[in-house]
A and B are shown apart, each in its own frame.
Chain A
Amino acid sequence: MTIDLSQFHQVFFEESFEGLGVMESGLLRMDPGAVDGEEINVLFRAAHSIKGGSATFGFNDIAAFTHVMESLLDEVREQRRQLTSRSLAVLLSSIDVLRAMLTAASGDGALDNALVARQQQELEAVLNNRESSPVIEHCAAPQANSAIDQVIGWHLVFRPLPNMMRTGNDPLRIIRELAGLGELDVKVDISLLPGFEQFDPEECHLCWDLHLHAAVEQARINEIFEWVEEQCDLVIVPLPGKDPASSTSNDQDVERDAETPRVSLVPAADSEAERHAGNERRRTDRRENERTASGAGSIRVDIQKIDNLINVVGELVITQSMLSMLGENFQMGQLERLKEGLSEMERHTHELQESVMQIRMLPISSIFSRFPRIVHDLSNQMEKKIELRLTGENTEVDKTVIEKIGDPLVHLVRNSLDHGIEAPAERIAAGKPETGTIELKACHQGGNIVIEIRDDGSGLDPERILRKAIEKGLVDSETQLSEQQSYELIFQAGFSTVETISDLSGRGVGLDVVRRNINELGGTVEIESKPGRGSAIIIRLPLTLAILDGQSVSVGDEIYIIPLLSIIESIQVKPDMVNLIAGRAETCKLRGEYLPVIRLYEILGVQGYRTGELTDGLLVVVEGEGRRCGILVDELIGQQQVVIKPLEVNYQRVDGISAATILGDGSVALILDVPGIMRLANATPELRVLQCSA
């Protein structure tokens, strides 16, 4: 029976990526001067597991590579080697390469073999550098030379030591195995049996004289006795075929034959390094590697969550059958019960929704865990001293959010590292501690997840930003902006220069793309800063991408949904709030700020709208991409959770619309994309005038 091992590959990859994560964080925490014994053991076991698994499942390159890492770690844990910062660094970079190898092996991307070869060489160089004391290996004694060309069989005398059975070895089994090789004559010698009173049934005092008529090599026979080598006396001599020379002995005093070779099976994967020449050469992105780890295919779920789900479904079924029964012969007198049943149903459906969402929720630690490494490497590169603090790693977020928020976060953190935290000398001069701090924090706040990146660096300088923006032609030189508005400029396309600080994140992208990515997730990005003290970037994301809290509004006969996340407030416009700029662009004055007004029916081409004057309708004050405006609608209908149905499945993207949803009556309503609406509005000549002013 052949078993297809590929069914275990998925699990193997998952556990290997996890193991790499464990190794990485262990190495990062490690202080070469004071190596913790148990920590090193953990690292060794992780490497050992990966090596064993990869060899078992046929990934021989990976096994060979990991073997070198394992050997290094083995020497450290046996205290035959000191962990130097060089070996630490080589191990860390080897982890990256190993990650790339695993990713390529799992089918996600190609491998740069030259890189692997170089890294392996480096590892071997460290390993072979006589920093370690050599191990005294048991030398395999040379195989007894069977000069006899034609082997016709073997004569064995097998005498187990009395305690052989205590290791669970049964002489009978061994003899049976021998018999499987060919014809076997067995003679048992009971002469060593003690008398009945001294007889210990747990001991073996029997001895066997065996003639095996089989043309097999001695190695094959040695194999059979391999486990009990040290626990028996064994003489193996070829049967006289052509040569009469043989020494057999039935003697009780058979001594262990010193020439009986010890054979140890060398594990197949050990010192070979097979190189597959067939792979393409392409740089493997570390991000892609980790995307595999969090992979689209499967998800690990806490059993408890599944149990909850089962409970809720159970209740739902009960309520449903109750309602079903009621419906069979319904009479008006049962109306109350019907209502109760329906509201139970609603409660259970709500619970079900929550439970299912819970299943897709994973702790954000899977993303946060990348950062110690990134911060470590970057701060070394930039020669800055930086401490990373992580809070709220257990905060749970939807799996899709986790997959998509990783990259934007990395860019933002890199930004903080690069522009935020000052060089050590500067910090000391400013009276700050030499080591800068970056804090990554995640928490739930009112149905959203909030992620903050705070640094105690130099903060943003609004004047410098404005100057740079003018230089790059993003705003004209006459512009006056508030501090906060200046900060917003860094999110403008074209403001940030494309940077590739390190290989870690690969392509450098501007913050405008980061913001757009976050917006596409239905979230918002804000920035706060105090010059000289530090900055904070605050990201707000919906807890799940499939469901949205929305405000439904009507314009004419049409209903639209505005995401609650974008809404600041809704107001009834009073005549004295209305202003006209340049005679054409409407604004609404709200607490000292002039909000541009967008007439939704104009932007969306709605017929049959009811509001003519601003004061006739309602103004929904929204915020998108750092700007605020008021959207004029006929009426507010209500707030509700809606399921997001993308238009792109069967149609395509529509400007100003982010997706669709199905309302309770089965009809379709469109969900507004607030930044998109604002962009459409800007395209209208009248409102363009407002862009540059307050």
Chain B
Amino acid sequence: MASILAVDDSPSMRQMVAFTLKGTGYQVIEAVDGEEALNYAKSRNVNLVITDVNMPNMDGISLIKALRSLPGYKFTPLLMLTTESSSEKKQQGKAAGATGWIVKPFNPEQLLSTVKKVLG
């Protein structure tokens, strides 16, 4: 099954996301911030990255930008988790190369349907 990299500095969110996705059969790798995620991504390709925006060490938008420059991640779906209501962050994300976003708060069902959409 597909592998997903979940990046969020909030343990409860990570757990929820990981649990939800693993339950469907996806393989989930967790990272606490952009830096950790990028390091992982450099060594291994995943099928999808879901990342929070506000994190220490490297935020989501910087992560997305950095991922797009990796050859293995040119076309990988990269989704942002955002609570921002202003479209600014979304624009920034798109400019950095994000595929789309999932708005917080979301429930597990919404997460799953979005992931299914993206991974086909």
Q: Do any CB atoms of chain A lie under 8 A from CB atoms of chain B in the complex?
A: yes
Q: How far is the CB of B2 from chain A (nearest CB, A)?
A: 14
Asked if A15 contacts B83 (CB within 8 A), the reply is no
Instruction: Report if A56-B86 is in contact (Cβ < 8 Å); known contacts: A3-B108, A165-B75, A267-B105.
Output: no
Q: Of A43-51, A93-101, A238-246, which binds chain B?
A: A43-51
Residues of B within 8 A of A135 (CB): 86
Chain B residue with minimal CB distance to A44? Answer: B54
The answer to whether A52 and B120 have CB atoms under 8 Å apart is no
Contact of A55 among B11, B23, B83 (CB under 8 A): B83
B77 interface hit (Cβ, 8 Å): yes
* Complex interface: chain A residues within 8 A of B99 (CB): 167-169, 227
State whether B108 touches A5 (Cβ < 8 A).
Answer: yes
Is the Cβ of A8 less than 8 Å from the Cβ of B16?
yes
Assembled-state Cα–Cα distance A5/B16 (Å): 7
CB of A268 within 8 A of CB of B11, answer no
Q: Are B98 and A167 in contact (CB under 8 A)?
A: yes
Inter-subunit contact B97/A167 (CB<8 Å): yes
Question: Is residue B55 contacting chain A, with contact meaning CB distance below 8 A?
Answer: yes
**The one of A7, A11, A48 that contacts B83, using a Cβ cutoff of 8 Å:** A48
Question: B87's closest neighbor in chain A, by CB?
Answer: A138
B10 touches A49 (CB 8 A): yes
Q: Which of chain A's residues have a CB closer than 8 A to the CB of B85? A: 264, 266-267, 270
The B-contacting residues of A in range 255-312, CB under 8 angstroms, are: 262, 264-270
A336 partner residues in chain B, CB cutoff 8 A: none
Interface residues of B in 1-39 (CB under 8 A from A): 9-13, 15-16, 19-20, 23-24
CB contact between B54 and one of A48, A63, A228, A268 (< 8 Å): that residue: A48
Which B residues are in CB contact (< 8 Å) with A14? 11
Among B12, B19, B100, the residue within 8 A (CB) of A227 is: B100
The yes or no answer to A147 lying at the interface (CB within 8 A) is: no
Given A45-B55, A49-B10: A8 and B90 within 8 A (CB)? no
How many Å lie between the Cα of A127 and that of B43 in the bound state? 45
Asked if B19 and A55 sit within 8 Å, CB to CB, the answer is no
Known: A138-B86, A166-B68, A173-B120. A15 touches B104 (CB 8 A): no
Please judge, given known A-B contacts A52-B83, A267-B85, whether A15 and B56 are in contact too, CB under 8 Å: no
Q: Check A42–B117 contact: CB distance below 8 A.
A: no
Q: Using Cβ atoms and an 8 Å threshold, which residues of chain A touch B24?
A: 1
A56 touches B105 (CB 8 A): yes
Q: Which of A56, A169, A230, A270 has the most CB of B within 10 A?
A: A56
A 1-38 contacts with B by CB, 8 A = 1-3, 5, 7-9, 11-12, 14-15
Contacts of B108 in A (CB 8 A): 2-3, 5
What are the residues of chain B within 8 A of A63 when measuring CB–CB?
Answer: 105
Q: How far is the CA of A270 from the CA of B54 in the complex (A)?
A: 17
Tell whether B42 is near chain A: CB-to-CB under 8 Å. no
- Please tell me which one of the listed residues B15, B78, B83, B112 contacts residue A168 in the complex, with CB atoms under 8 A apart: B78
What interface size band does chain B fall in? 35 or more
Contact A168 B103 (CB under 8 A): no
Partner of A52, one of B13, B15, B90: B13
Interface size on A, residues (CB 8 A): 49
Asked if residues B16 and A230 are in contact (CB atoms below 8 Å), the reply is no
Interfacial residues of chain A within 184-241, with CB under 8 A of chain B in the complex: 202, 226-228, 230-231
When the two chains form their complex, are residues B12 and A8 in contact, meaning their CB atoms are under 8 A apart?
Answer: yes
Chain B residues whose C-beta falls within 8 Å of the C-beta of A227 in the assembled complex: 94, 99-101
The distance from the CB of B48 to the nearest CB of chain A, in whole angstroms, is 9
Interface residues of B in 91-120 (CB under 8 A from A): 91, 94, 97-101, 103-109, 112, 117-118, 120
Q: Which residue of B lies closest to A165 (CB)?
A: B75
Task: Please name the residue on chain B nearest to A50 by beta carbon.
Answer: B10
Q: Contact check: which of A52, A166, A264 meets B97 at CB < 8 Å? A: A166
Q: Is the CB of A264 within 8 A of B87?
A: yes
Contact between A15 and B100 (Cβ–Cβ < 8 Å)?
no
Is A230 in contact with B105, judged by CB distance below 8 angstroms? Answer: no
CA distance in complex: A228, B77 (Å): 13
Whether B117 lies near A166 (C-beta < 8 A) is no
A-side contacts of B81, CB under 8 Å: 52
Closest to B105 in A: A55
Task: Determine the chain B residues whose CB is within 8 A of the CB of A268 once the complex forms.
Answer: 105
Is B76's beta carbon under 8 Å from chain A? yes
Q: Is A52 within 8 A of B56, CB to CB?
A: no
Q: Which residues of B contact A269 (CB under 8 A)?
A: 105
From B12, B13, B87, B90, residue with most partner A Cβ within 10 Å = B12
Contacts of B105 in A (CB 8 A): 52, 55-57, 63, 267-269
Cα A226 to Cα B78 in complex, Å, equals 15
Give A280 to B100 CA distance when docked, in angstroms: 43
Is A137 on the interface with B (CB-CB < 8 A)?
A: yes
Residues of B within 8 A of A624 (CB): none
- The smallest C-beta distance from B24 to any residue of chain A, in angstroms, reads 8
A168 to B106 alpha-carbon distance, docked (Å) = 22
Chain B residues with CB below 8 A from A3, complex form: 19-20, 23, 108-109
A522 on the interface (CB 8 Å rule)?
Answer: no
Question: Does A176 count as interface, using CB distance less than 8 angstroms?
Answer: yes
CB neighbours (8 Å) of A169 from chain B are 77, 99-100
Q: Which residue of A lies closest to B68 (CB)?
A: A166
Which residues from chain A contact B100 at a C-beta distance below 8 Å? 169, 226-228
Min C-beta distance of B108 to chain A, whole Å: 4
Asked whether, in the complex, the Cβ of A264 is within 8 Å of the Cβ of B11, the reply is: no
Give residues 170-190 of A contacting B (CB, 8 Å): 170, 173, 176-177
Residues of chain A within 8 A of B23, CB atoms compared: 1, 3
Distance in Å from the Cβ of A139 to the closest Cβ of chain B?
10
Instruction: Check if A52 sits within 8 Å of B86, measured CB to CB.
Output: no
Give complex CA distance A2, B20 in Å.
9
Which residue from B11, B12, B68 sits with its C-beta under 8 Å from A57? B12
Contact of B118 with A2 in the complex, beta carbons under 8 Å:
no
Residues of A within 8 Å of B109, CB to CB, are 1-3
User: Which residue among B9, B83, B94, B118 has the maximum number of chain A CB atoms within 10 Å of its CB?
Assistant: B83
Beta-carbon contact of B104 and A55 below 8 Å = yes
Q: B10, B15, B52, B54: which has the most chain A beta carbons within 10 Å?
A: B10
Q: Verify if A420 is at the interface (C-beta below 8 Å from B).
A: no
Contact residues in B for A52 (Cβ distance below 8 Å) = 10, 13, 52, 81, 83, 104-105
CB distance B77 to A8 under 8 Å?
no
Contact partner, B94, options A9, A12, A44, A167, Cβ 8 Å: A167
CB-CB under 8 A from B11, the residues of chain A are 11, 14-15
**Is A53 among interface residues, defined by CB-CB distance under 8 A?**
yes
A55 to B9, CA, bound (A): 16
Most buried by B among A5, A7, A49: A49
Some 19 contacts from A to B, beta carbons below 8 A apart, are: A1-B23, A3-B19, A48-B83, A52-B10, A56-B13, A56-B106, A138-B86, A138-B88, A165-B75, A167-B97, A167-B98, A167-B99, A168-B77, A173-B118, A173-B120, A202-B74, A227-B94, A227-B101, A267-B104
Leading 8 A-B pairs by shortest Cβ distance: A227-B100, A55-B105, A12-B12, A168-B99, A56-B105, A168-B77, A3-B108, A11-B12
A52-B10, A167-B98 given; 20 more Cβ-contact pairs under 8 Å:
A3-B20, A8-B16, A8-B19, A51-B83, A52-B81, A52-B104, A53-B13, A55-B105, A56-B13, A57-B16, A135-B86, A138-B87, A165-B75, A166-B68, A166-B97, A167-B78, A173-B117, A228-B100, A264-B90, A265-B103
